[in-house]
A and B are shown apart, each in its own frame.
Chain A
């Protein structure tokens, strides 16, 4: 069973969480916990870097939604960078293509 590793880079302007591995029912809580472990200030941004994300199921999508709500409750903003093609298709399927701010990559952020 493959797991999930999360690495964090923080600056005053944004936190970047890079997800390595699979996001599923077993690992989705780890993403939520990682977000809860951060402190946010208004105007700050949280970016999930998904360039190294493997499998992602509906629990993963749910974790994105929960994370975005948490971040927004602090007046911060939420974005996703480099979503895999499959996830982009899932977002389209479930009508969330315009729901998240999307970046092509975290380069230059």
Chain B
């Protein structure tokens, strides 16, 4: 390994080269190369006792050879924290693998100075394969370590920032949804919000609230895009819908109002729109009359008591916030005891199953056949379980809201 005639003659034919520098190389000898190499060399016994050390490393550390050889162990040259790291990581790795590369440690010099180094070690084995000693090369890593410290600091700062952003996102997300749904006489209600990621605040929203005359209103929708700009529209939408419903609860009037407000808020460079279903529930004997208005939103599903599943179609309804005279489509039905209505955002129908195929409206309708005879809580929790099971394949946020008319007890 240290043969100069072999190692150093790479530059050209040796015999008749007259360059003085090349002659000097030939006169170089292994011992001198070892001692004065531009890196530290260190050989230790298996228990770490220093057996051999080169002049370069002694010079870096400010020790005389006799201070160390046969007297100290490699770990004596480390900081205490470094010793812990050595015993828990470096030494086991060396034992198991026969070598360890680029281990970052700090050596402590005779005067207490700390020298950041990178160490490569190999275990030398005898002819029978039994380990004999450990050879290490030690590289001065002061500048590299300073740079790495900067990197680490930057990484820590970035991680803190990310954690802060996530907390902020989660908080903001919560303000866009009701903390709990109110109890509605005669109805079982349940909702679920599945956030695909907290990197981006989603734009899905829903709410359920009382109106005068024992009536109840609810809405569910989806603002285009994600992030803070979408959250602004989501927030605006939520409060506008609540206020508009109090002013005039007619579903078409409510969504027309919303359209005007979002349109005013928007600007040309950024077509921020939403799709939304707004519903009004009026008690009607043992059930409710349900009137829904839709602005470009997927149709609500109704699970009938007799097992049929219907889509509450609202054809022609246009998205909210883009067109000055958006068409709002309306549909009406009666919900008898045991019957349910499910509202959802397109995260549900765009969710991809294991084959990458979208769940789709048809599949959802099939799925909904299983809703018959079950209450809102069960319907929502079965869908939520399915969404959770999709994991990363669910790329969009999804909101679900289900209402079931309670059967008379």
B271: interface (CB < 8 Å) = yes
Chain B neighbourhood of A65, CB < 8 A: 271, 273, 322
Contact A93 B224 (CB under 8 A): no
- Alpha-carbon distance between A70 and B296 when the two chains are bound, in angstroms: 23
Q: Which of A57, A61, A62, A95 has the most CB of B within 10 A?
A: A95
> Could you say which of B224, B226, B271, B326 contacts A95, with CB atoms under 8 Å apart?
B326
B277-328, CB < 8 A from A: 295-298, 316-319, 322-323, 326-327
B272: interface (CB < 8 Å) = yes
Chain A neighbourhood of B237, CB < 8 A: none
> Could you say which of A32, A61, A69, A96 contacts B224, with CB atoms under 8 Å apart?
A61
Contact B226 A94 (CB under 8 A): no
- Alpha-carbon distance between A42 and B271 when the two chains are bound, in angstroms: 23
A66: interface (CB < 8 Å) = yes
A59: interface (CB < 8 Å) = yes
Chain A neighbourhood of B273, CB < 8 A: 58, 62, 65
Nearest CB to that of B200 among chain A residues?
A25
Q: Mark B318-361, 1 if CB is under 8 A from A, else 0.
A: 11001100110100000000000000000000100000000000
Chain B neighbourhood of A66, CB < 8 A: 268-271
B239 to chain A, nearest CB (A): 22
Contact A59 B296 (CB under 8 A): no
> Could you say which of A32, A69, A94 contacts B296, with CB atoms under 8 Å apart?
A94
Nearest CB to that of B299 among chain A residues?
A93
B237-289, CB < 8 A from A: 268-273, 275
B380 to chain A, nearest CB (A): 23
B82: interface (CB < 8 Å) = no
- Alpha-carbon distance between A62 and B222 when the two chains are bound, in angstroms: 13
A37 to chain B, nearest CB (A): 15
Chain B contacts to A: CB under 8 angstroms:
200, 222, 224-227, 268-273, 275, 295-298, 316-319, 322-323, 326-327, 329, 350, 396
